[in-house]
Structure 1
Amino acid sequence: MGAPSWDLFIALFFIIGISYGFILQREKVTGTLVSTYVALVVTQIATPYIQQFFSGQTTVGSIFIKASPTPFMIKTAVFAIIVILLTTRGGLAGMRGHGLLTPIEVIIYSGLTSLIAISTIVSFLDEGVRATLVSDSRFASIIIQYHDMWLIAPVVILIAMGFRRHGKHGELYE
């Protein structure tokens, strides 16, 4: 029997992400989505400093850790830690929604959060490893190809859903 493919891993991650969204409900899903965006920004800014700290180039109060983690390991760890901390302790839960649209929103937001997480982590890989992954996995190829769209789509959908929920004159519809 052959080894599981990357497509299987990606599909499972996506399914688990949507299931997790249903468990959390919409207000937590939007908080997780925002946490994912924040983690992406923090990861891009903080990684060079963390890399310098681990390589011994920078010290914090004469403390440094001599290690050789790869940039991928650092970026993935920072990304995961920020998402987990903001989701569990950040207080980013949105308003509680009811109605027929809520399950659809949960699927959309959870799916997009999963796509952003996968495409972001894959973007941390070295170019050669990423090229191998793209050639081995149809899902990874699509996810990487549309990385920018996955980042923009939730913002557009949040705004569109906000207009739908608030009507023409700003009144809130549930």
Structure 2
Amino acid sequence: MRIGVLALQGAFIEHQKSLAACGVESMQIRKPEQLEAIQGLIIPGGESTTMGKLMHQFDLFEPIVELGQQGTPIFGTCAGMIMLAREIYGSEQPRLGLMDIEVERNAFGRQVESFEADLEVPALGEDPFKAVFIRAPYIHRVGDPVEILAQYGEKIVLARQGHYLAAAFHPELTEDLRLHRYFLNMIGSY
């Protein structure tokens, strides 16, 4: 199994390290033809408006939409969650629109208001998952096919819709590999 990590900006190397710790090969994705060699894709955190512009510039936007529509699992973290969303509260910025969610950008405040929190994530077991929130979004609204996996207070911060997984936080910045393993299990052959 080989997982692609969108490598236009953001924490893509940290995701690759997490995947390696899971015993899985990964590759950096910067060209559309590279998408043919992967069984899953991670869209990392970063800055979502810049990421959208770079995806268009590198002709990756439509190929990633097609990849998702063909059933390839996609995991978006922080800005990656924003890119997966169908709607972005108060914004018309480019997005993939693959998940039936509405997200709110920078919902927890500015960079200096970043924080860590223990989340209850039943899908990952009984132990809390330490989540790192950096200028994080949250899910404002979910559609019927979306399963809420975790909340921070009243805010939805982890959700799944079929072969799409979206986290408002950065699991790649912790040593807890459970969320990466959860994604790999979505692919089926892990």
State the structure with bigger RCO (CA 8 A, min sep 6), 1 or 2. Answer: 1
Normalized per residue, which structure has more helix? 1
TM-score > 0.5 by shorter chain = no
Q: TM-score range by the shorter chain?
A: under 0.3
- TM-score of the two chains, using structure 2 as the length reference: 0.24
Whose Rg is larger? 1
Normalized per residue, which structure has more strand? 2
- TM-score of the two chains, using structure 1 as the length reference: 0.26
